[in-house]
Amino acid sequence: MKVTILYDNESRQRDLKADWGFSCIVEKEGRKILFDTGANGRILLNNMRGLGVSPESVDEIFISHDHWDHTGGFSEFTKERDGKIKVYIPSSCSSISGAGEIIRIDNFFEIHDKIYSTGELQNIEQSMAVKTEEGTVVITGCSHPGVQEILHAVRPLGKVKALVGGLHGFSQFELLKNLDLVCATHCTQYKAEIESSFPDKFIQGGAGTVIEL
């Protein structure tokens, strides 16, 4: 599988714009899922072009939670697709409209073979989990429910291999010791501390970062 960060507070390439928000493309067995849409549709589409990702190549959208820095680019992106795209949203999300099909998710849910939603945790946010041969890869928007609760939600899938995304004020660093990879992005408050604690497993985020697992 592959995760390509499209939108983040930092950029790894000169032709990509940094902005407060998060979005990435998750690829698994030929399927491309747009995880969140950042805050600004023009920036999202600019960065997608810079990374060679066309809107037409995206199969579905997965929205982690109903905050502007994760949904702000939605309407501009869907205009590129004439609204003809399926969207998975947490059940409390109210700002999403204009998609071809909207699926509201309450509980742990298998979206596709080996691709899961944690379900909406603490009535605010869902994360994505992708099962690979080496373990489960978890992608988060902001981790508002807490990393511990997110990791607990994916426990039925077995070992967690990697954690990618925003971790907000997460400071229970011991939860990361058995992971192979951590890419802390966007709103993560203690990014430097996580990197210094786990230098061998930490990957710098930012628009343009590509993680292949």
40-63 per-position pLDDT tens digit: 999 999 999 999 999 999 999 999
pLDDT of residue 82: 85
Q: What is the pLDDT of residue 201?
A: 97
Residue 39 has what pLDDT? 98
Give the chain's residues under pLDDT 50: none
CA 22: distance to chain centroid?
Answer: 7
> How many other C-beta atoms are found inside a 10 Å radius of the C-beta of residue 66?
16
Please, are residues 50 and 13 in contact by the beta-carbon 8 Å criterion? yes
- The pLDDT, as a whole number, for residue 70 is 98
| Strands 23-28 and 31-35, bridge-based pairing | antiparallel
Give the pLDDT of residue 136: 98
What integer pLDDT is reported at residue 134 of this predicted model?
A: 95
User: Helices marked H in the chain — which ranges?
Assistant: 41-50, 68-71, 74-80, 147-153, 191-197
pLDDT of 57 = 97
At 194 the pLDDT is 98
Helix (H) or strand (E) holding 87: strand 86-90
pLDDT at residue 98, as a whole number: 78
What are the chain's domains? Answer: 2-212 (3.60.15.10)
Is the overall model pTM greater than 0.85, yes or no? yes
pLDDT at 1: 96
